[in-house]
Amino acid sequence: QVQAPPKDEL
């Protein structure tokens, strides 16, 4: 299971 990237956009 690949960790989802952080939600760094607005």
Q: How far is the CB of 6 from another protein (least distance, A)?
A: 6
Q: How far is the CB of 5 from another protein (least distance, A)?
A: 6
* Token reading at 2: 């690949």
Q: How far is the CB of 2 from another protein (least distance, A)?
A: 8
Question: What is the DSSP code string of 1-10?
Answer: -PPPPP----
Site for another protein in 1-10 (CB under 8 A): 2, 4-10
Binding site for another protein (CB under 8 A): 2, 4-10
